[in-house]
């Protein structure tokens, strides 16, 4: 077979053993620096270092110092439960293997001391001569010494969806893949000095953003902490003023601090987020960090890579232009299911000579192959060649015998075309494919349905115009040509132009609908790609993305921060961008108050994934680098999954806000009752163990059930919540104080009414009343705008079960001897229960009545 010189035919001698040793002493090993692995202790510390949890630990320590062992054990149990839940979830998701290191090729073919050797890639040193063939992963940065038709897939670094050709003298980068041809190259950089290493360094310098929930809970914890200390000090002072003993003063202050702080909140938040993570996993979205569950729900902008995220990452022939007419090719990806259509009629190679000849070039002038894997197809070799093979199969064309290829002139970056000499029973013929601007110049005739015609200047110009029009539509254009010959050598001249194939990496079928759904939820989708601007514009138009302007990386470099801020606010898409450009875009959006989600699958996406408020990696196509930098991994690589995850994130935040308000309203009633009770110089209305029972056991279980509330129908019609929005608004604070005032005064009234019957009975009744009030009021927090009859009274069965269970637990607290001893309670009379029920009924009726009137009004 005739071909360009195989570079392996005159390989350099390579390094000697002493030269390898000297280079290793100077440069080290070809591996990325090992970051300090995340230890179990680190993950555990994350769970217990929050201010609310530290306050609980402090309260347990004080209780233990005062001899209140039961209180200390109860609080400690909550801390342990919270830490265990968070630890299990995050440790499962923690990556044990350094992902950048895993991307490096494990072995390399190298020339040393005149011999070809296979060595571990980590043993490469600068100066080594490596040998590369189709399918190899480049093990280090290198300079090409010689090549034959070399093509590289650099998508993991650049985002380019089309393989690039590399001539001798060009640089190649570790982690990229050889899609065609072969080469020999001299290693120039290894380990941290490679492009991979620079991306790793850039990723490591990006500080992980604090989630909105972390900010909110931190802000709430600080507020509650100071308020608890202040109120506890005031109450303790009042106790001292009353002449109580020092131990009683301490117990009174501790009771107030315990009442002020919602001890169950950290555990409830952790449990609810863990359940939300499970719900997201069922939606094919794996959560790596619990606090990120709700952040996606706040996203106002989704910055997305194009290749493999919005598109299929599978080149597809969509059009075939010929002098006989335009053919539309259906189907997408490497699935050969599809057909040719022209003028409304389906065509096949058997009844259309133009399609037959185009298919012959596609099937013979190639090194690519298709392989059936499971329910799908996989392309082996160059994606463009694979797409042409698929095109031919859609025409039901008969594949020529590959052994009939007599000679070949391979594709190179200089020639930009490939030709083969095919010889079989139909005679010899030269088949050529390549760049239209070059192939058209080699043609003297053009194929028509009735045979070839001379390629006049007008016809040639028509072909060039067709190629230009397809390129403007974002397609890659490949010219197909042929010529019968009686010789046994390839001469690329006097060819007949068959047609122009227009290829594109097509959008995923479900993405347009997903983007529309995101837009209806007030979420903007912004495309950021390393691909060509025209391709970006075409994909944006196909998906319905508003992109009046496509801005390139060099244009971003020329902008100052103010100009970039104005740019990201407009209808824009970004193309030819680098990792550093992505970081600037995300920073500009965040500076405008946007909550930014970033999707990606390549190494080039990793820094931006970490910089964004929520990083979203692709689970199938995504590199381990991208997954390691992300907060969320899409297990099905489906952009549409993001919409479901956004809905789940919004539900999580809404429910978090509901149970935070519920817990605080419960605590407000306890605090108000204690304050007034202390000021009245009456016996203590609640004991510390009773307050812990209310806050940890009964309230905690009910709050978790409230966290399982289904999403409200209107939640995906609401705009994203602002970054500045608080969990507690003025309206919610008013509601909390109103409910707290009612439950506190009602409990106090019951206590004072029954006090003549005995302090223990009055305290038990007030304690039970507060539990019943808190359980009844939970139904008001299912929604602040939608009444229960509209939500569906049975739509959250977990809440009904929790309500019934906690009411049963309170009955046990009043009538079961062990709990009577622990909580210092006595049995209640039927009349006491009737009194409690009378005060509880308005908590069930009035909120529902108010929401119903507000809805109809």
- Annotated catalytic residues are 305
Q: What is d(CA 676, CA 754) in angstroms, rounded to the nearest whole number?
A: 17
Q: Which residues make Cβ contacts (< 8 Å) with residue 813, sequence separation at least 6? A: 693, 768, 819, 820, 823, 825
Q: Where are the alpha helices (DSSP H) in 178-296?
A: 195-205, 212-241, 246-260, 265-282
Q: Which residues make Cβ contacts (< 8 Å) with residue 362, sequence separation at least 6? A: 388, 389, 391, 392, 397, 433, 480, 501
3-state secondary structure of 206: coil
- Please report how the helices 579-591 and 195-205 are oriented relative to each other, as an axis angle in degrees rounded to 10: 20
Q: What is d(CA 141, CA 496) in angstroms, rounded to the nearest whole number?
A: 42
160-181 in b/e form (b: 16+ CB < 10 A) is: bbbbbbbebebebbbbbbbbbb
Nearest-CA neighbor of 619 among 637, 605, 602? Answer: 637
For 607, the enclosing helix (H) or strand (E) is helix 606-611
Nearest-CA neighbor of 251 among 691, 664, 699, 767? Answer: 691
Q: Do the Cβ atoms of 315 and 740 come closer than 8 Å?
A: no
- Burial label for 50, CB within 10 Å (0-12, 13-18, 19+), is buried
Q: Do the Cβ atoms of 737 and 814 come closer than 8 Å?
A: no
Residue count of the chain, please give it. 857
Number of neighbours of residue 473 by Cβ within 10 angstroms:
18
Q: What is d(CA 606, CA 848) in angstroms, rounded to the nearest whole number?
A: 49
Q: Do the Cβ atoms of 187 and 128 come closer than 8 Å?
A: yes
658-672 in b/e form (b: 16+ CB < 10 A) is: bbbbbbbbbbbbbbb
Rounded (to 5) percent helix, strand, coil in the chain: 50, 20, 30
In the sheet where 614-618 sits, what is the strand order? 285-287, 632-634, 614-618, 596-600, 301-304, 524-527
Number of neighbours of residue 585 by Cβ within 10 angstroms:
26
- Residue 147: HSE in the Cβ half-sphere, 13 Å Cα cutoff: 28
Number of neighbours of residue 205 by Cβ within 10 angstroms:
11
Q: What is d(CA 433, CA 451) in angstroms, rounded to the nearest whole number?
A: 20
Q: What is d(CA 573, CA 59) in angstroms, rounded to the nearest whole number?
A: 53
> What are residue 237's DSSP bridge partners?
none
For 389, the enclosing helix (H) or strand (E) is helix 383-394
Sign of CA dihedral 100, 106, 112, 116: negative
Q: Which residue has the tokens 């305290």?
A: 763
> What are residue 418's DSSP bridge partners?
433
Q: What is d(CA 571, CA 264) in angstroms, rounded to the nearest whole number?
A: 46
Q: Which residue has the tokens 């409230």?
A: 706
692-715 in b/e form (b: 16+ CB < 10 A) is: bbbbbbbbbbbbbbbbbbeebeeb
């Amino acid at each position: 077979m005739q071909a360009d010189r195989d570079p392996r035919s005159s390989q350099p001698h390579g390094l000697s053993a002493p030269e390898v040793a000297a280079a290793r002493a100077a440069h080290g090993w070809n591996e990325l620096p090992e970051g300090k692995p995340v230890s179990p202790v680190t993950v555990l510390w994350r769970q217990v270092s929050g201010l609310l949890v530290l306050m609980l630990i402090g309260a347990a320590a004080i209780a233990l110092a005062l001899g209140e062992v039961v209180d200390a054990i109860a609080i400690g149990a909550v801390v342990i439960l919270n830490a265990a839940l968070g630890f299990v979830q995050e440790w499962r998701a923690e990556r044990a293997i350094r992902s950048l290191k895993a991307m490096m090729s494990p072995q390399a073919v190298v020339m040393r001391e005149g011999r070809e050797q296979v060595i571990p890639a980590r043993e490469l040193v600068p100066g080594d001569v490596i040998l590369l063939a189709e399918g190899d992963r480049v093990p280090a940065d290198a300079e090409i010494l010689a090549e034959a038709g070399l093509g590289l897939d650099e998508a993991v670094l650049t985002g380019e969806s089309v393989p690039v050709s590399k001539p001798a003298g060009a640089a190649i980068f570790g982690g990229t893949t050889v899609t065609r041809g072969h080469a020999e190259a001299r290693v120039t950089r290894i380990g941290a000095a490679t492009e991979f290493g620079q991306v790793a360094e850039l990723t490591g310098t990006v500080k992980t953003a604090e989630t909105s929930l972390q900010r909110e809970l931190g802000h709430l914890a600080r507020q509650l902490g100071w308020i608890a200390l202040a109120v506890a000090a005031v109450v303790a002072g009042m106790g001292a003023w009353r002449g109580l003993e020092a131990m009683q003063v301490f117990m009174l202050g501790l009771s107030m601090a315990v009442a002020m702080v919602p001890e169950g909140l950290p555990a409830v938040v952790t449990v609810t987020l863990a359940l939300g993570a499970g719900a997201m996993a069922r939606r094919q979205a794996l959560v790596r960090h619990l606090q990120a569950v709700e952040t996606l729900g706040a996203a106002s902008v989704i910055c997305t890579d194009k290749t493999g995220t919005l598109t299929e990452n599978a080149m597809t022939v969509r059009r075939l232009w010929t002098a006989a007419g335009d053919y539309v090719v259906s189907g997408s990806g490497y699935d050969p299911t599809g057909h040719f259509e022209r003028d409304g009629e389906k065509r096949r190679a058997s009844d259309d000579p133009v399609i037959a000849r185009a298919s012959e070039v596609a099937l013979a002038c190639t090194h690519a192959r298709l392989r059936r894997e499971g329910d799908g197809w996989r392309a082996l070799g160059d994606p463009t060649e694979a797409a042409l093979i698929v095109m031919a199969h859609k025409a039901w064309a008969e594949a020529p015998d590959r052994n009939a290829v007599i000679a070949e002139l391979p594709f190179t970056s200089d020639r930009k075309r490939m030709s083969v000499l095919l010889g079989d029973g139909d005679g010899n013929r030269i088949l050529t494919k390549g760049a239209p601007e070059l192939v058209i110049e080699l043609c003297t005739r053009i194929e028509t349905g009735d045979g070839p015609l001379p390629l006049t200047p007008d016809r040639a110009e028509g072909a060039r115009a067709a190629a230009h029009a397809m390129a403007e539509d974002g397609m890659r254009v490949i010219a197909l040509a042929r010529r019968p010959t009686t010789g046994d050598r390839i001469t690329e001249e006097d060819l007949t132009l068959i047609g122009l194939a227009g290829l594109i990496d097509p959008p995923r079928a479900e993405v347009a609908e997903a983007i529309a759904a995101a837009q209806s939820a007030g979420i903007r989708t912004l495309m950021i790609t390393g691909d060509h601007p025209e391709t970006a514009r075409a994909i944006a138009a196909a998906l319905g993305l508003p992109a009046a302007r496509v801005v390139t990386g060099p244009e971003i470099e020329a902008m100052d921060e103010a100009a970039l801020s104005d740019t990201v606010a407009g209808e824009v898409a970004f193309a030819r961008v680098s990792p550093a450009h992505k970081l600037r875009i995300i920073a500009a959006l965040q500076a405008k108050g946007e909550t930014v989600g970033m999707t990606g699958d390549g190494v080039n996406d990793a820094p931006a994934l970490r910089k964004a408020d929520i990083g979203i990696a692709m689970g199938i196509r995504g590199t381990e680098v991208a997954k390691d930098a992300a907060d969320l991994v899409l297990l099905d690589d489906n952009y549409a999954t993001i919409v479901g995850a956004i809905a789940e994130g919004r539900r999580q935040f809404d429910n978090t806000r509901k149970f935070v308000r519920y817990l605080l309203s419960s605590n407000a009633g306890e605090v108000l009752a204690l304050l007034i009770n202390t000021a009245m110089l009456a016996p203590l209305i609640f004991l510390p163990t009773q307050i812990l029972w209310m806050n940890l056991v009964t309230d905690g279980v009910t709050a978790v059930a409230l966290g399982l509330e289904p999403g409200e129908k209107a939640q995906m019609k609401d705009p994203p919540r602002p970054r500045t929005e608080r969990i507690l608004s003025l309206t919610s604070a008013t509601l909390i104080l109103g409910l707290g005032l009612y439950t506190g005064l009602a409990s106090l009234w019951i206590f004072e009414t029954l006090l003549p019957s005995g302090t223990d009975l009055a305290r038990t009744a007030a304690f039970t009343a507060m539990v019943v009030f808190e359980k009844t009021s939970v139904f008001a927090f299912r929604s602040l705008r939608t009444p229960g009859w509209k939500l569906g009274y049975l739509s959250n069965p977990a809440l009904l079960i929790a309500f019934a269970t906690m009411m049963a637990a309170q009955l046990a607290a009043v009538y079961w001897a062990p709990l009577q001893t622990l909580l210092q309670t006595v049995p209640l009379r039927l009349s006491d229960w009737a009194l409690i029920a009378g005060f509880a009924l308005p908590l069930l009726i009035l909120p529902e009545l108010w929401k119903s009137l507000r809805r109809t009004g």
